[in-house]
Amino acid sequence: MAIYVDADACPVKDEVIRVADRHKLEVFIVSNGGLRPSQNPRVQTIVVPDGPDVADMWIADRVGPADICVTGDIPLAAKCLEAGAQVIRHNGEAFTKANIGHQLAMRDLMADMRAANPLGAGGGGKPFSKADRSRFLDVLERLVRQSARR
């Protein structure tokens, strides 16, 4: 069992490491650069080449049924769910087989709407809050315990 983190713009890397330490789990922090490697022996910082979805492909090729993936990337979440992994967003929302189809459809719809907007107005999500961080920790802890029971 391991935790894979899609680390570009991930605000909860420290929280993942804290939970992983408590449960003695290996963590893979995957990005295409710009991150300071952790000194923690349980954490492997993986730097992939620049390119579209290279970090996502690295994770999708390795994640398995007992693993957890932390990502906000919906297509990556779908691939991880197909592999049997559990998937969680940075704000604590879990991706599931029951909601991933809707998530993918909404992602595509929003991309179409942005493309149709000639002025580029709108966009941007809500800011990451303390409540998001707390919810993330609670959900990650629950997912780790569920994976351990599998």
**pLDDT tens, residue by residue, 68-92:** 999 999 999 999 999 999 999 999 9
d(CA 80, CA 134): 24
Q: Is the pLDDT of residue 101 over 80?
A: no
Q: Residue 118: its pLDDT value, please?
A: 63
Q: Residue 22: its pLDDT value, please?
A: 95
Q: Any bridge partners for residue 95, and if so which?
A: 87
Q: Is the pLDDT of residue 107 over 70?
A: no
Q: Any bridge partners for residue 70, and if so which?
A: 5, 88
Q: Residue 27: its pLDDT value, please?
A: 97
CB 85 within 8 A of CB 68: yes
How many CA atoms lie within 13 Å of 56's alpha carbon, on the beta-carbon side? 13
